[in-house]
């Protein structure tokens, strides 16, 4: 790992911040230092790209202009507003944190990394970003961009997937942060990591900080950051069951834990249930989904799309979802977690997976 003297650190700070002042991205959450805006944007940006987040951010603030407005909302409304961004635990934690800030702290945000980390869903990175940008705390915001930028600048060969990586990088970055502009410094690193020093096809030769880039100087940029191979996603198969009565279908809310927690889908059964007999399928729905159907009310059974399926990738799982439809003459007996609603309803909080399933059904039936 390289170590810089005070003169080099000062020159680096000035070079980076001059570039940021001139070329930094004009993003809606950078127009003030309101902790609500900073926090919301950083949570949305986790696992999601800037271009995707921007319209969601604007719509969110139109619906919940302040943290107090968010605190007053119910979970279903929040999840519906979040629908499409994925990783829905983020939305639930936004609501919990808003309620704590509003109801327990009289609208006052913690101004330290430790205090921010005590709030639901706020980890090291978001705490560092909010503390530095909103409150001027000279602390790093270490995400993939920071790992990439500083591993190359300083030749840090610690595996970024290891348990000690954050501690190693924090120790290396902290002395480089200017005390008067820590938030701008961290945001400049974000912009640098998403442009000249991105993961694929970096443009190190034109980077504003190329003179400080040890990996570029040695011609080994591709070797940084050091990272263990990703684990292969686990393959899982499900069958979505369309229980249809005229223009209404059964919608069921997922359990409040696990993937798609508290969101609404058509009933999902584990495994490939396309060839299962109607009596056996009805029995599975009763056992697994608590949906009671009399086999005599099944007017038609149809596999939608034949061998075609809906594929959806989560971080560690790859789902293959087949679709089977049962047309019923009478409504089934439903548990509290299910409702009979229009096929095209837009009131429930639907995950992207269900939107893909609905689109597939409409195209293939």
Beta bridge partner(s), residue 324: 241, 303
Q: H-helix or E-strand containing 282?
A: helix 278-288
Maximum distance among all Cα pairs of the chain, rounded to whole angstroms: 83
SS3 4: coil
Of residues 42, 58, 104, 330, which has the active-site annotation? Answer: 42
Q: What φ, ψ does residue 234 adopt, rounded to 5°?
A: -75, 130
- Under 8 Å between Cβ of 266 and 251: yes
- The reply to whether 42 belongs to the active site is yes
Q: Where are the alpha helices (DSSP H) in 46-177?
A: 50-63, 67-71, 75-82, 89-99, 113-117, 124-135, 144-154, 165-173
Distance (Å, whole) CA 182 – CA 168: 19
Q: Half-sphere exposure of residue 231, counting CA atoms within 13 Å on the CB side?
A: 9
Q: Is 306 left (phi over 0), alpha (psi -120 to 50) or beta?
A: left
Beta bridge partners of 244: 249, 327
Structure tokens at 306: 């034949």
Structure tokens at 195: 């442009």
Cβ count within 10 A of residue 185: 23
- The token pair at 323 is 């679709």
- Say how many C-beta atoms besides its own lie within 10 A of residue 280's C-beta: 12
CA 60-68-38 angle, 5° bins: 55
Q: Which residues contact 226 (CB under 8 A, 6 or more apart)?
A: 151, 157, 158, 159, 160
Pair type for strands 317-328 and 248-253? unpaired
Residue positions annotated with a catalytic role: 42
């Amino acid at each position: 790992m390289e170590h810089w003297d005070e003169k080099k650190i000062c020159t680096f700070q000035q070079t980076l911040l001059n570039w940021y002042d001139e070329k930094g991205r004009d993003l809606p959450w950078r127009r003030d230092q309101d902790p609500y805006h900073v926090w919301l944007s950083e949570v949305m940006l986790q696992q999601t790209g800037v271009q995707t987040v921007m319209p969601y951010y604007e719509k969110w603030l139109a619906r919940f202009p302040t943290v107090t407005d968010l605190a007053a909302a119910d979970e279903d409304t929040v999840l519906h507003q979040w629908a499409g961004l994925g990783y829905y635990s983020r939305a639930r934690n936004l609501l919990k944190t808003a309620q704590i800030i509003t109801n327990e702290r009289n609208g006052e945000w913690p101004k330290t990394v430790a205090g921010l980390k005590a709030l639901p869903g706020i980890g090291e990175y978001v705490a560092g970003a909010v503390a530095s940008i909103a409150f001027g705390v000279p602390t790093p915001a270490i995400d993939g961009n920071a790992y990439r930028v500083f591993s190359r600048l300083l030749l840090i060969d610690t595996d970024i997937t290891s348990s000690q990586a954050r501690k190693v990088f924090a120790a290396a970055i902290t002395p480089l942060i200017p005390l008067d502009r820590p938030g701008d410094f961290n945001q400049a690193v974000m912009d640098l990591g998403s442009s000249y020093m991105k993961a694929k096809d970096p443009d190190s030769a034109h980077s504003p900080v190329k003179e400080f880039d040890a990996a570029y100087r040695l011609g080994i940029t591709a070797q940084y950051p050091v990272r263990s191979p990703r684990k292969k996603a686990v393959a899982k198969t499900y069958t979505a069951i369309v229980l249809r009565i005229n223009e209404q279908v059964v919608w069921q809310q997922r359990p409040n834990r696990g993937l798609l927690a508290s969101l609404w889908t058509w009933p999902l059964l584990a495994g490939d249930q396309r060839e299962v007999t109607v009596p056996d399928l009805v029995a599975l729905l009763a056992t697994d989904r608590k949906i009671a159907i009399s086999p005599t009310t099944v007017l038609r059974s149809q596999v939608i799309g034949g061998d075609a399926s809906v594929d959806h990738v989560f971080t560690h799982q790859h789902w293959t979802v087949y679709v089977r439809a049962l047309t019923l003459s009478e409504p089934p007996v439903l548990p509290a977690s299910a409702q009979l609603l229009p096929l095209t309803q837009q009131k429930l909080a639907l995950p992207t997976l269900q939107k893909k399933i609905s689109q597939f059904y409409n195209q293939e039936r």
